[in-house]
Structure 1
C-alpha cells in the first residue's frame, strides 16, 4: 500500500462511519426546516418547535457523562452497535410523538448517543488507518455533518410539501440500522480499545490537566462561532436585509463550508497538528472579525458564512490533540471532546442573546466571537509547550 492510498477494507470502514455521521447530522438538523409542519401537526406554537434542535443538543451534552463509563467495559464494535441502535430508537420514537411535550423528551433521548458516536468512530479510524492518515480520516468522518446540512434543506422542503415530517425521521432511523449491519463484519476482528486494558480510574483520568486544557480550546472557539451561527437568521433579515426565501441557501452555503473545513483540516492535521491548530485558531478570529463588515452586503454575507462554516478546520487537529493528551484513556478523551464542544454550542448563543438583549445590537455577537477566538489562541499558547512533550511521547 502506498503512502497516499488506503486499503479496500480501510476505505470501506471510513465510508460506512461517514454514513453514520451523515445520519447523525440529519437527525440533528432535519427539524429546523420542518418546524412549520411540526407546529401544524402537533398543534404547538412556533416558538416552541423552533427550540427542538436545542433539546437535541442538550441530549448530546447529558449523554456524554451518562455513557462515557462504558468505554472501559465494551469494545468499540459493541459500543457503536449500542449507540447506533439508540439513535435508531430515538429517531423512530420521534416519528410517533403526538404532543409537543413528547417531542421535547424524545429529542433529548435521541441526542444522547450523538457525541459518543463521533468519539468512538474517531478512535476506530485511529486504530484502523495508518498514522499519516488519522487526521484525514477524522476530517472525512466529520464531513458527514456538512453533507447533512447540504441535503437537509432540499429533502426537508420536499417532504414538507407533502406534510409528512415523520417520514424523514423514520428514514434516518432505518439508515442507523443499515450502518449497524454494515459495520458488524467490518469491525468483527478490530483490536480491543486501549481503555479496556487500562487500570487507570475515571477519577485519575479526569485529574489530567492537559485533558481539560484541550477541552477548553474547543469550548472557547465554539462559543464564538456558534454565537454568530445561532443569530444568522436575524442578521440575514435585519442587517443584510435579504428576503426570507433565501434562508435555505444560507444552510447550503454553511454545509459546503463545514465539509470543506473538516476535510482540509484533516489533511493539514496529518502534516503538522500544532501548526494546524495555531493557523486555524487565527483563521477563525480573522473570519469572525471580517464577518462584522461582510454581513452588510448580500454577497458579503454569503462569502462570510461560507468562511465561517469552514472554521471547522480546527476540529480534526483538536480531536487528535485531546486523544494524544490522554494516552492511558484515549477513547474516553475522544468522547469527552465532543461533549465539551457542545458546551460551547450552548454557551455561545446564550451569551450572544445577553449582549443583544442589552441593546448592543445583533452584530455585537461578532465582537464576542473575536474575543473568544483570541482567548482560545491564548489558551493554546499557554499550554503548547507542556502538551508537546506529552503528545510527542504518545505518538512515538
Structure 2
C-alpha cells in the first residue's frame, strides 16, 4: 500500500492516536534500554560486580537487538504490521519481567539479551506505519513523532527508573517497563486497524534486496558514528560521582537534562532531514564530533556538565534522519532495513560502552569517554562521505 493511500484511509484523529500508541512503545523500550545506565552503581552493589561488568549488561541488550532485528523482521515480513507490533510488545514485556526477577548476574545477562530481541523490529515496523500515514515530504517528521517516545524515555523514563531504583530497588524499574509494554500492545490493538491491502514481501525477497551498498552505508554510519553518544551516556553516572564529585541525588537531574537534549535532537533531526535530505546527516556528525571533544573539559563542573550533556544528546537527531534515508534507498527490503537501522544503533550501544570501558580500565579516566566518542564520530563522518560519493555516482539525487 502506498503512503498516500494509507494516509487517506485513516482520519487525522486516528492517525494521532496511532502515533501516540506507537510512541508509547518507544517510551517502554527506551526506558528498558537506558535504565541500567542510571542504575549502574546500584546494580553493581546489589549483584557484587564492577561497574564495567554492568556495562556488559548494556552490551548484552544491544547484542540482542542486533540479533533480533533482522531475524524477527524476516520472520515477520509476511505478517500484518498490526499483528507483528502486538506480538513484539508482548515479547518485550516478558523479557523485562524476566530481568526484574533475575537472581544473579548471569541470569540477568541472559535476560537482557532476550529483552533486546524485539527492540529493532518494533521500531522498524512502527516507523513504516508512521510514514505511511502522512505525505512523502512529511515522513521524517512523522518518524520523529514516533521516536518522541524514545526521547521521552531519556527525558522522563530513565530519571524515573533511576529514582525508583535508588528509593526502592532497581528490579522495579524493569517491572515498570514490562507493564508499559503490555499497555502498548493493548493500545496498538485498540487504535491501529488491520489493513488487508497492506503490501507484504516474502522473507526471501527482503533478504535478496538487502545486499545493496546504499543500504549498508547508513547502517554503518549508525553503528559507528552514533556509538560516541552511548560511550558518554553509559558511564555518565560514575563520571558524575567520581569526577564531578556530586551526590547521587544529582544523577536523575543530569539524566533529565540529557533526555531534554535527546528530545530536542529528535525533533531537529526530522526537521533537518526534511530540508537537507542526506546532507543533514553529515552536519549532525560534525556537530557530534565537536561536542564530544569538548565533553571532557566540562566534567569537573556540574553546571558545565549539564550544558554539555544537553549538547551531546542532540546527536539523537541522527535517528530519524538515517531512518528516513533508509526508506528512500531500501526499496524491496523496507521492513528488514528499517529494523536493521535499530540493530545498527544498538551495535553503537554495544560498541560505545565497550570502547569506553577499555579506556577507563586502561587508566585514562572516566572523562576519556568524550575523546573515544569523538573518534567514533569522525569514523562515522568518513563513512558518510563514502556514502555521499556512492549516491552521487549512482545518480540518486533525490536521496542526496
The two structures have a TM-score, normalised by structure 2, of 0.86
CA deviation map 1:151-194 (0-9, x unaligned): 33553355447635555434432322222222225332436555
Give the Cα–Cα distance (whole angstroms) in 2 for the partners of residues 157 and 328 of structure 1: 42
* 2:347 is aligned with 1:343: yes
Is this contact kept in 1: 2:55–2:234, CA < 8 A?
no
Gaps of at least 5 residues in structure 2 are 1-10
* 2:307 is aligned with 1:303: yes
Which residue of structure 2 aligns with residue 246 of structure 1?
250
Is this contact kept in 2: 1:224–1:372, CA < 8 A?
yes
Is this contact kept in 2: 1:91–1:169, CA < 8 A?
yes
Distance 1:294 1:176, change over 3 A: same
* 2:303 is aligned with 1:266: no
For residue 75 of structure 1, report the CA deviation from its aligned partner. Answer: 2.0
* 2:30 is aligned with 1:25: yes
Gaps of at least 5 residues in structure 1 are 1-5
For residue 328 of structure 1, report the CA deviation from its aligned partner. Answer: 1.2
* 2:286 is aligned with 1:282: yes
Is this contact kept in 2: 1:195–1:328, CA < 8 A?
no
CA deviation map 1:310-336 (0-9, x unaligned): 111122111111222211111111111
Which residue of structure 2 aligns with residue 3 of structure 1?
none
For residue 243 of structure 1, report the CA deviation from its aligned partner. Answer: 3.6
Is this contact kept in 2: 1:220–1:373, CA < 8 A?
yes
Distance 1:156 1:342, change over 3 A: closer
Distance 1:192 1:22, change over 3 A: farther
Give the Cα–Cα distance (whole angstroms) in 2 for the partners of residues 214 and 318 of structure 1: 6
Equivalent residue of 1:200, what SS? Answer: helix
Which residue of structure 2 aligns with residue 115 of structure 1?
120
Work out which structure has the larger RCO, using CA pairs closer than 8 Å and 6 or more positions apart in sequence.
Answer: 2
Distance 1:245 1:46, change over 3 A: farther
Give the Cα–Cα distance (whole angstroms) in 2 for the partners of residues 73 and 28 of structure 1: 28
Give the Cα–Cα distance (whole angstroms) in 1 for the partners of residues 169 and 90 of structure 2: 24
Is this contact kept in 2: 1:324–1:330, CA < 8 A?
no
* 2:48 is aligned with 1:45: yes
Query: How many equivalent residue pairs?
Result: 387
Choose the corresponding residue for 2:81, options 76, 91, 97: 76
Distance 1:11 1:337, change over 3 A: same
Give the Cα–Cα distance (whole angstroms) in 2 for the partners of residues 355 and 154 of structure 1: 26
Matches within 5 A, 1:185-224: 185-190=190-195, 194-196=199-201, 200=205, 202=207, 204-224=208-228
Say which is worse superposed, 132-141 or 27-36, in terms of deviation. 27-36
For residue 299 of structure 1, report the CA deviation from its aligned partner. Answer: 1.7
Equivalent residue of 1:207, what SS? Answer: coil
Give the Cα–Cα distance (whole angstroms) in 2 for the partners of residues 349 and 242 of structure 1: 22
Give the Cα–Cα distance (whole angstroms) in 1 for the partners of residues 159 and 369 of structure 2: 29
Distance 1:49 1:292, change over 3 A: closer
Which residue of structure 1 aligns with residue 391 of structure 2?
387
Say which is worse superposed, 333-342 or 296-305, in terms of deviation. 296-305
Say which is worse superposed, 136-145 or 159-168, in terms of deviation. 159-168
* 2:122 is aligned with 1:148: no
